[in-house]
Each structure stands twice: as structure tokens, then as C-alpha cells.
Structure 1
Amino acid sequence: MALTATGIGSNLPINDMVSAIVNAEKLPKEALFNRTEDTINAKVSAVGTLKSELAKFQDALKKLQKGNELSARKVSTGDSQYFKATADKFAQNGTYAIKVEKLAYAHKVAGDTTALATDKPGEGRLDFTVNGASFGVDIAATDDLQAIARKINDASDNKGVVATVVTSDDGSRLVFSSEKTGTDNQISVTATDAVGAGTGLNDMFNGANLTELQPAQNAVLYIDNQKITSQSNEIKGAITGVTLELTKADIGQTGTLTISQDDTKVKENVKGFVDSYNALIDSINKLSSYDADKKKASALQGDPMIRSLESQLRSMVSERVDVDGKTIALYDMGIKTDRYGKLSIDDAKLDKAIAEDMNSLEGLFSTESTGLANRFAELANTYTKSGGVISTRNDTYNSEKKRLDTQREAFSLKMKSLESRLFKQFNKMDLVVASLNQQTSGLIDRLNSLPGVVKG
């Protein structure tokens, strides 16, 4: 290190000397702080990666937990314009002839027409009854048609009436529509004018002044020539596990509904589980590995948290599940485990299980509490949930960072104090040396001035 600064009295490089002493103590400690911080950050990043892989694993498990996705059904309605269909796991394979005679419609009635939507019919009350349930709203003398519609729609006890102002060539009128289709949901309206307020509400809504715009109607359809009447265009339960949505009516047209097991979708969901599980194992191995050649450990190498997770995962894949009195394991369904703990699929064996033993495959994964998908999901959740293992570990890392910041701050103050103390000590020394130099110089001058002294 070049010494350039000098003391005033001693001609010594005091600044450089103090800096060298302070750095000799400061730099190794700061390097230790930096290494500690890098280690904590690496662990935070590694735990974040682990949480991300667990979340992907949980997404794959959702398709197997309830069995709906695992026991997927393929639905075909041909090119029918008359209905759509969906099916859950309870739907059985089959073909059905469907004819739609009528669609369900909601009841619509309208009050008498006025010239403008801003017209005010008068003070009083409107009462409504829908499917045996009643409610009403009070009408102020200042309420126009829009205000009345808002009061009806915003009523906290509204039983299913939607009010709208419709303006046509004839003028404006209030239209009341039932929220639900079918004859059970017809609307009745009673208008009562306030005493002394005239007959504005009565003239607009009572008796012949209330026009039926659309009669309430039930849906009528035939499934294999069996008649079904429904209040709604959504038909549930007519065919077990199937929901029909009626879209158009024509009794002369027959559509064909075909339900079959979607073997491809089932296999995709099982494969998704296997791929996600293997990705999680790969991530665990990478995060906890040790590179012997580089002599470098990964961030979570030897960490008990990740060792415990890996151990539980490997144990769980070999467990057997009780399904209808027999125990089933992944291996029985064509899912094998290799010596590295990763899974692979025996396609022929899995295809056979899907085709011939779907109940066992579904039970293996989806049985409540004991099914593997539910068990894996529960395990993953203990790590990823708020307050779970990973959250607690991150809290620990945050605490370590705060302690490190506190230690750094205290050490910085210590180094400033050391620097200040050294400067004081060296400055005192500088003054002493300067004083000695002055005394020496004066003594030499006096000696040189003595008689007989020969100056060289």
C-alpha cells in the first residue's frame, strides 16, 4: 500500500496507517457478513423454488382429488342446435334420443305507456308476488319510471322481479320480468295509490292496464320418447350425472346424446400427476445436492425440512389404499417407482386399468382422506399454506437477516469508534514527535554554537 499522507509533526503517513489497521479488522468481518447474507438469500430463493414446485404439484392433484376429472366423461351432441350437455363421473355410458318441444320462458308484464320515462305516475305503493313470496316498494310523488325501477331492483327483500324501463315508438313503460323461468314464477302486481294522490299508479298497473308481454312457460322435452317437463331450460337429473341445457325447440327434430368415458382425458390427468411428482423430486434433488467436483453444496443440502418432505413423498408412493375391501397401490395401476424415487407409467397396464378397473383407479387417488391425491395434497398444504413449514422457515430467514443487519450496524459503529481512537492516539504521538524534533533541533543548534566546535 502506498503511503502518501503524512503527519504534520512526525512526517508519518498517519491516515494510511489508521486505514490499514482498521481494514485489517474490518474487511474479514465484512466478508463474513456478505457470505452470511448470500447464504440466507440463496436459501430464501431455494425455498421459493420449492414452494413453486409444490404449488404445481397441488394443481395436478386437484384433478384427481374428487374423482370428477379423473373419471372424465366424453359428451357428444352431434350437430344439434337444440341442446348442449355436460356429464360428471356418475354418468353412465349410453346413447339417448332427445327432442325439445318447448323452451322455458320467464314471465314478463308491463304497465301502461307514458309519453316520457321522466313522467311521474304518482304516490303510493307497488306490491309483487312471485311463486308465493311477496314484497313491495313505496313510491314517492317525485319518482319517475327510472326511479321506480331502481327501487324495485334494489329492494332488499326482492323475491325475483327485475324492473326495466323500455322506450318504444309508443312511449315509455315499466316492464317487470321474473328472474326465473317457468309457470311457478309468474308475477302478480298490485298498485295502491296514496290517499288523495289520485289514481296514477292504478291507471298504470292495475287490471287491463297491466299487459302480459311474455307468458310464463315450462320446458318440455322427450328423452327416448319419455316426456319431461321442467321449470328451467337447465335439466338436471333426468339422466343420472348429465346436465342438459336447452337452446332451441322443434318437436320434429331429434338430437342424439352420447356419453362415454374419456379414456384420453383420464390418462392425461394421471400422467399430469406423474410428471408433476417427478418435477418435484428433481427440484428437491437439485436444491439439496452436493457437487463433489466443485466441492459446492446446494442451498438446502442437509436441510432437515427438505429431507423430511422427500422421505414422506417416497413413503407415500408405496402405500396401499383400501378400495371396496381390497388394497390398491400405484403399481397395480401401472405406475412404477424407480430406485431414484421417480415414477414412470406402464402404458399397457394403465390402459387396462382405465378400461376395466376404473373404480379401483379412482378409489386409489380420490377416496376421501385416504386417497393418494388427497394425502399428497394434505402433505403439500402443510408446507405451502400460510403459517406452514415454508412460511415459518421464511420467517426464520427474515429474522436472521434482521440480526445480520443489527450486527453490521453495531460493527460499523465499532469500526468508526476504533478509527476515531486511533486517530487520537496517532495525533498525540505526532505532537510528541514534533516536540522532540524541536528540542533536538534546538539542542543541536546550541551545541554547534559552542567555542571550538568544528562544523563539517
Structure 2
Amino acid sequence: MALTATGIGSGLDINNIVKVLVDAEKLPKEASFNKTEDDIKAKVSAIGKLKSALSSFQDALAILQDGKNLNQRQVSTGDNPYFTATADKFAQSGTYSIKVEQLASAHKVGGAFTTAPTSTVGEGSLDFDVAGKQFSVDILATDDLTAIASKINSASDNAGVTASVVNTNGGSRLVFSSNETGLANAMTVSGTDAVGGGTGLADMFNGANQTELQPGLDAIVYIDNQRLDSASNTIDGAITGVSIELTEADVDKTSTLSISLDKTAVKDSVQGFVDSYNSLMTEINKLSAYDADKKTAAALQGDSMVRSIESQLRSMVSNRVDVEGESIALYDIGISIDRYGKMSVDSAKLDESIATNMGGIEGLFATEDTGLANQLDSMVENYVKAGGLIDSRKNSYTSQQQRLEDQKEAFARKMEQLQARLTKQFNAMDLVVGQLNAQGAGILDRLNSLPGVIKS
């Protein structure tokens, strides 16, 4: 008869014996799996931090790639209500007196009044001439003021007129406005009635029934007492690199426009680059460091990609850039690099460079292709772009993780098979031992029953 429980025949704790034997093979391998998994996770996390640090550095570079951020102008217009102004890097430092005699305005005319926006006018056409460009809109007898305005505004050949319906105490009327300001953009409007269709359009828009609500005027401004007429209230190019927006007119009031190099903005841009570079180098050092005291290595210690990034960065920031025949480097504008790869700024030397060689500073960073900011950005982009070197590395780690999971699953099946095999073998042994014990007990009983046997 077979045994129904393990260990009954031999008296051994078979389950525990099997567990100990299986654990002896399983635990070291599982520990190895866990260590490998932790290493991969640490590298995935570290590579993510590296990408984030590179992207932040790239954001700082973007500011320097546009030369205008390294050659900014400070504009002062006081508290005058007559104009505002902006200046680009081409504007020269200087002071100008400004007087605004007249603002530019858009020509605006209105037709005769009707009782309501739903009033119809007649059948025919409305003809427009704006700055020498003509277009015509057909009007049906059933079109009211609102429909007429819609037709004009949606006309495919509209040359620059906006129509609207205005309701006032006098009634409702169609008002036409030129889309552009200035005398040259004035318009003419005339109504032509269809034959046999009455005189409604002519009566509303021709002759005395048409009212000029606002003339089309040019702006008149004086810059250092020199007159300038402009069709627009935005004046570009009167002063090189300066855009003036006229807001109010009073020829008797003179205001002052002052333009100067914004040295603080330039220094802030340069300092921002230095701080961002140092932050990146700090993160790289942290991710690839080795702690000799604790004898522990960071996740990317000895990583070839990290070494390559650091090497390229150090090389690029040490290079000289040709700017219009002049060779210039970071050191020349007051930026030095220590043996640990960290930058520092000599404020006095930078101030001197801003005062004497602003073009050199701009060219050092922003020259197309060869400028330092552009070179660094191209290098960083190779790593952080979609499908770039960092994404390739992350894909490699993902593949390693998948292979590890496959190995863990295969090993778990192997351990299950080992446990089943050992349990079967020990149970077979237990059955044999039980049978031998039973046979021995039977023999002993028969021996004890023989005549002459003395039981002690």
C-alpha cells in the first residue's frame, strides 16, 4: 500500500529538505538576477537624467543662437503718451527728439440712413476703388443691409474694404472702412442701379447722401525737427533698427527717444550659458562618479557615451571661432575653465569686451554653423533628438530588461521542475524505507516468537 503523506515511512521532513536543496541553487541565481535588474533600472534612470540635463543646456544655447539676445538695445521713451519704440541689434546708441503732429487714419464713409438693418435698398451693384484697385459687388433686390455687408466682406476680389452696419439715433446705415491707413488708401464708393430697378443704390451711396465719416490721413512726425510722412502709424526704418508706434498727436509736445546697448541683458545671457554649462557638467560628474571611500560606482561610471559627451564639450568650449577674420575664444571675453571643467566669469573682462567688441561676443556664440552655441546645439541634438543616441541606449536597456525577464521565467520553470523531481525522488525513497521498516518489524516479531527466546 502506497504512503499518502511524505516522510511517514522514513520520519524525515522531506518538504523542508527539498526546499533547502532547491533554495541552495535558486537563491544565488535570483540574487544575481535582482542585481542585474537593479543595475539596468539605475542606468535607465541615469540616462533619463542625462537627457534632461542636456535638454536644459540646449534651452540655454537657444538664447545665444539668436544674435539679438547678445546684442540687445535698451529703449527709453519716458512717460510720453505719443509713441512707443523698440530697437533691434542694428540700432545705434543715440538720443532723438520726437514730435507727432498727426496720426495716420483709415478712410471711412457711410451711406444714407434707413429705418433698420433689415431694410432693403434695391437691385444693382456697388463699385469700389481703393488705392487704384477696383472691385464690384452685385446686389439683389432682396438683400438687406446686413446681407450687403456680408457680400462685400466675403468678395473674393475685395481690394481692402470692410463693411459694417451701424445703428444710431439717426437709424441704420452701411459704413465702409479702408483696411489700411493713409491718404493713398482712400476709397471711392458708388452705387449703380439695375435697369428698371429704381434708384435705391444711387440714392443711398451717391452724391450728398454719402458721408465721409473719417478722412484717410498720413501720419506726420518730426524726428530731430525733420518731417516724415507715413501711411502707417508704425514707422520702421526712419532710424536704423528702430520701430516707432505712434499713439497720440500733439505737435506742440516734444518727447525724447533714447537708445543704448543693454549691457545687463548681454551679461545675463552670457552668465546663463555659464551656469547651464556648469550644471550639465555637475550632473555628468554625478552620474559617472566613483566613491573611493564607499567603493561604490555611479550608474554610468565608465560609460563610453558619457565620456564622449564630456570630451566633446571640453573640446568645443576650448576652441576658437573665426568672426569676420578675428579669432576669438571664451577666454577672450572673460570666461575661464578650470581643470574640473567648470566655467567662471571675470566680470570686469566681460564688461570690457561688451564695451569694445560686442560684435565679437555675438559672433563667438551666434555665427551660423561655426558659432559656439550652434556647434554645441548640434552636438547635443545628436543625443537628445527622437531616435538619437540616448534613445538608442534606452532601447538597448529595454532589450536587456526583456532578456532578463525571459531568463527569470526560464529559471523559475527550471526550479519548479527541480522541486518536483526532488520531491518525487524523496517520496520514492521514503516509500522504500517505510517498506524496509515494515519488513524488519515483521521479522523481529517472528524471531521474538520462537521457542527459547527470552524477552528482555
Short-chain TM bin? 0.7 to 0.9
Tell me the amino acid that sits aligned with residue 291 of structure 2.
Answer: D
Which residue of the partner structure matches residue 280 of structure 1? 280
Which residue of the partner structure matches residue 375 of structure 2? 375
In structure 2, C-alpha distance between the alignment counterparts of 1:110 and 1:21, rounded to whole Å: 102
Which residue of the partner structure matches residue 412 of structure 1? 412
Kept after mapping to 2: 8 A contact 1:152/1:163: yes
Which residue of the partner structure matches residue 81 of structure 1? 81
In structure 1, C-alpha distance between the alignment counterparts of 2:204 and 2:15, rounded to whole Å: 99
What secondary structure, in the 3-state scheme, does the structure 1 residue paired with 2:395 have?
Answer: helix
Which residue of the partner structure matches residue 240 of structure 1? 240
Tell me the amino acid that sits aligned with residue 56 of structure 1.
Answer: S
Kept after mapping to 2: 8 A contact 1:63/1:69: yes
Tell me the amino acid that sits aligned with residue 245 of structure 1.
Answer: E
Write out per-residue CA displacement over residues 138-190 of structure 1, whole angstroms, 9 at most, x where no aligned residue: 88999876677667666777665555554445555555544443344456667
Kept after mapping to 2: 8 A contact 1:112/1:203: no
What secondary structure, in the 3-state scheme, does the structure 1 residue paired with 2:235 have?
Answer: strand
In structure 2, C-alpha distance between the alignment counterparts of 1:430 and 1:391, rounded to whole Å: 58
Which residue of the partner structure matches residue 399 of structure 2? 399
Residues 73-152 of structure 1: pairs in structure 2 closer than 5 A: 73-109=73-109, 131=131
Kept after mapping to 1: 8 A contact 2:117/2:173: yes
The alpha carbon displacement at 1:50 in A equals 1.9
Tell which structure's C-alpha radius of gyration is larger: 2
In structure 1, C-alpha distance between the alignment counterparts of 2:320 and 2:326, rounded to whole Å: 9
Which residue of the partner structure matches residue 16 of structure 2? 16
Kept after mapping to 2: 8 A contact 1:126/1:192: yes
The alpha carbon displacement at 1:296 in A equals 0.6
In structure 1, C-alpha distance between the alignment counterparts of 2:178 and 2:309, rounded to whole Å: 56
In structure 1, C-alpha distance between the alignment counterparts of 2:450 and 2:200, rounded to whole Å: 136
Write out per-residue CA displacement over residues 203-242 of structure 1, whole angstroms, 9 at most, x where no aligned residue: 7975467655433333221211222222322211111111
In structure 2, do the counterparts of structure 1 residues 408 and 76 end up closer, same or farther at CA, with 3 Å as the change threshold?
same
In structure 2, C-alpha distance between the alignment counterparts of 1:147 and 1:91, rounded to whole Å: 49
Tell me the amino acid that sits aligned with residue 355 of structure 2.
Answer: A
Write out per-residue CA displacement over residues 104-163 of structure 1, whole angstroms, 9 at most, x where no aligned residue: 233445566565556677898877665566778888999876677667666777665555
What secondary structure, in the 3-state scheme, does the structure 1 residue paired with 2:243 have?
Answer: strand
Kept after mapping to 1: 8 A contact 2:137/2:155: yes
The alpha carbon displacement at 1:40 in A equals 1.8
In structure 2, do the counterparts of structure 1 residues 207 and 34 end up closer, same or farther at CA, with 3 Å as the change threshold?
farther
In structure 2, do the counterparts of structure 1 residues 193 and 399 end up closer, same or farther at CA, with 3 Å as the change threshold?
farther
Tell me the amino acid that sits aligned with residue 328 of structure 1.
Answer: I
Tell me the amino acid that sits aligned with residue 356 of structure 1.
Answer: T
Q: Calculate percent identity across the aligned residue pairs.
A: 62
Kept after mapping to 2: 8 A contact 1:113/1:204: no
With normalisation by structure 1, the TM-score equals: 0.84
Tell me the amino acid that sits aligned with residue 361 of structure 1.
Answer: I
Kept after mapping to 1: 8 A contact 2:204/2:210: yes
Write out per-residue CA displacement over residues 250-292 of structure 1, whole angstroms, 9 at most, x where no aligned residue: 1121111001111121111111111111111111111111000
Which residue of the partner structure matches residue 314 of structure 2? 314
What secondary structure, in the 3-state scheme, does the structure 1 residue paired with 2:69 have?
Answer: coil
What secondary structure, in the 3-state scheme, does the structure 1 residue paired with 2:368 have?
Answer: coil
Find out whether 1:304 has 2:304 as its counterpart: yes
In structure 2, do the counterparts of structure 1 residues 428 and 275 end up closer, same or farther at CA, with 3 Å as the change threshold?
same
Deviates more, 1:414-423 or 1:370-379: 414-423
In structure 1, C-alpha distance between the alignment counterparts of 2:448 and 2:142, rounded to whole Å: 121
Kept after mapping to 2: 8 A contact 1:121/1:204: no
In structure 1, C-alpha distance between the alignment counterparts of 2:406 and 2:316, rounded to whole Å: 43
Which residue of the partner structure matches residue 255 of structure 1? 255
In structure 2, C-alpha distance between the alignment counterparts of 1:438 and 1:389, rounded to whole Å: 73
Which residue of the partner structure matches residue 294 of structure 1? 294
Which residue of the partner structure matches residue 39 of structure 1? 39
Unaligned runs of 5+ in 1: none
Find out whether 1:217 has 2:197 as its counterpart: no
Unaligned runs of 5+ in 2: none
In structure 1, C-alpha distance between the alignment counterparts of 2:155 and 2:387, rounded to whole Å: 42
The alpha carbon displacement at 1:406 in A equals 2.6
What secondary structure, in the 3-state scheme, does the structure 1 residue paired with 2:97 have?
Answer: strand
What secondary structure, in the 3-state scheme, does the structure 1 residue paired with 2:68 have?
Answer: coil
Kept after mapping to 2: 8 A contact 1:92/1:259: yes
In structure 1, C-alpha distance between the alignment counterparts of 2:159 and 2:414, rounded to whole Å: 75
In structure 2, C-alpha distance between the alignment counterparts of 1:50 and 1:325, rounded to whole Å: 37
Deviates more, 1:218-227 or 1:238-247: 218-227
In structure 2, C-alpha distance between the alignment counterparts of 1:140 and 1:316, rounded to whole Å: 72
Deviates more, 1:347-356 or 1:422-431: 422-431
Deviates more, 1:348-357 or 1:217-226: 217-226
Write out per-residue CA displacement over residues 331-351 of structure 1, whole angstroms, 9 at most, x where no aligned residue: 121211222222212222211
Kept after mapping to 2: 8 A contact 1:110/1:211: yes
Q: Report the aligned-residue RMSD.
A: 3.6
Write out per-residue CA displacement over residues 74-106 of structure 1, whole angstroms, 9 at most, x where no aligned residue: 111011111111111110011111111222233
In structure 2, C-alpha distance between the alignment counterparts of 1:200 and 1:25, rounded to whole Å: 108
Write out per-residue CA displacement over residues 2-47 of structure 1, whole angstroms, 9 at most, x where no aligned residue: xxx9545554433333333333333322222222222222222222
In structure 2, C-alpha distance between the alignment counterparts of 1:144 and 1:453, rounded to whole Å: 138
In structure 2, do the counterparts of structure 1 residues 379 and 191 end up closer, same or farther at CA, with 3 Å as the change threshold?
farther
Write out per-residue CA displacement over residues 304-338 of structure 1, whole angstroms, 9 at most, x where no aligned residue: 11111111111112211122322112212121122
In structure 2, do the counterparts of structure 1 residues 385 and 114 end up closer, same or farther at CA, with 3 Å as the change threshold?
farther
Which residue of the partner structure matches residue 71 of structure 1? 71
In structure 2, do the counterparts of structure 1 residues 325 and 428 end up closer, same or farther at CA, with 3 Å as the change threshold?
same
Tell me the amino acid that sits aligned with residue 406 of structure 2.
Answer: T
